[in-house]
Structure 1
Amino acid sequence: MVIDLCNKADIKIIVDGLNAYNLDKVAALSPIWTPLEFCIKNEQGDVIGGVLAGINYWNGLEIKILWVDEGYRKQALGTKLLSYIEKEATKRGATMAMVDTFDFQAEGFYIKNNYEIIGEIKDFPKGHRRIYFSKVLQ
């Protein structure tokens, strides 16, 4: 046996294997992954923020990235994106949202938007915390 770098076919085998195992234990409530990816553009058509997320097969909204360009922060664009993605996910059957961030990124933002801290990793990176949040969607 040998440990080797994955190619795309290897990755598909690994993902399909985990999905098959998971779905054998708990039935899917929705398609395997429904991408929800939106951006905000300024008047010139430049992307100034966006959210990359999706709904998993148990109707959970997984927020991978939410970003607003530094020059456009403090204008509630992050809150607008978050609210939009939550509404879109709810329309598609999502019942729960989950996200993680670092204390130097958006901890206060998610707390302000009614996300609950469900866990953290202390001193990662050194001197900081990685924080995990969830929120029931209605």
Structure 2
Amino acid sequence: MTPQLIIEPCTKENAATIISGINSYNLSQIPAIANTWTPLDFVIKNESGIEIAGILSGIGYWNGLDIKVLWVAEAYRKTGIGSLILKHTEDAAREKGATVAMLDTFDFQAEGFYLKNGYKVIGEVQNFPPGHRRIYLSKKL
């Protein structure tokens, strides 16, 4: 007889169990180089103290810089601020032993920006969202 299984929304406690489970499996396959996730989150403020750019990223078990979000306020785009915070983050990651950076973006976001900053396309999903592309990029640090 097949056991009765239940699918339900995930709680924070469930998420912790899931993350612990995948981390345990991954580390049983390949030993960690770093002990834990090292956040590298930064913000740039203007002279009035208003946030005009920010990056959410970090270094994982195998010394890869994983860039989750990089944002620049519209009025400050194409001024070099995005490159400034990206370079600052890459330098901080290198100092902590990171050897590669990785991220994803969409064709309507920042593909050209990342290419200009030395990233290479390593894959993409066509027609997602419809009429666009999701692009995966990487760069050796």
Instruction: Report if TM-score (shorter chain) is over 0.5.
Output: yes
Which consecutive unaligned segments of at least 5 residues does structure 1 have?
none
Aligned to 2:31, which of 23, 27, 39? 27
2:52 is matched with: 48
Task: Give the partner amino acid of 1:108.
Answer: G
> 1:32 Cα deviation (Å)?
2.2
Q: C-alpha offsets along residues 74-127 of structure 1, whole Å, 9 cap, x if unaligned?
A: 110000011000000000010000010000000000000110100000000000
Paired residues, what number? 137
The CA distance in 1 between the partners of 2:30 and 2:88, in whole Å, is 29
Alignment of 1:75 with 2:79, yes or no, is: yes
> 1:8 Cα deviation (Å)?
1.1
| TM-score, with length taken from structure 2 | 0.96
The CA distance in 2 between the partners of 1:32 and 1:26, in whole Å, is 14
2:112 is matched with: 108
1:16 is matched with: 20
Aligned-pair Cα RMSD in Å: 0.5
SS at match of 1:105: coil
1:97 is matched with: 101
Task: Give the partner amino acid of 2:94.
Answer: T
Alignment of 1:118 with 2:122, yes or no, is: yes
SS at match of 1:97: strand
1:58 is matched with: 62
1:87 is matched with: 91
